[in-house]
Amino acid sequence: MVGCFHNLVLHNHWEVKLAVFVSDKVPEIIMGDPGRFRQIITNLVGNSVKFTERGHIFVQVHLAEHTKAIMDANGENCLNGGLNEGVVLSGNQYRSDALNTVVAANEASENVSLMVSVEDTGIGIPLRAQDRVFTLFMQADSSTSRHYGGTGIGLSISKCLVELMGGQINFISRPQIGSTFSFSVVFRRCKKNAFNDLKKPSSDDLPTAFRGLKAIVVDGKPVRAAVTRYHLKRLGILAEVASNIGMAVAIFGKNVSMASG
* Mean pLDDT computed over every residue of the chain: 75
Is the torsion defined by CA of 72, 76, 82, 86 positive or negative?
Answer: negative
Tell me which H or E stretch contains 217.
strand 214-218
How do strand 111-120 and strand 178-189 relate by DSSP bridges? antiparallel
AA identity, residue 204: D
Report the chain's C-alpha Rg in angstroms: 20
Q: For the segment 58-108, what is each residue's pLDDT rounded down to a tens digit?
A: 999 999 876 555 444 444 443 443 334 444 333 333 333 433 444 444 555
Distance separating alpha carbons of residues 128 and 72, to the nearest angstrom:
30
* E-state strands within 3-146: 15-22, 30-31, 54-63, 111-120
**Would you state the pLDDT for residue 136?**
75
Q: Between 29 and 118, where is the model more confident? A: 118
Distance separating alpha carbons of residues 230 and 251, to the nearest angstrom:
19
pTM value > 0.75: no
Distance separating alpha carbons of residues 43 and 134, to the nearest angstrom:
12
DSSP 197: T
pLDDT > 80? residue 6? no
Distance separating alpha carbons of residues 64 and 42, to the nearest angstrom:
20
**Would you state the pLDDT for residue 194?**
58
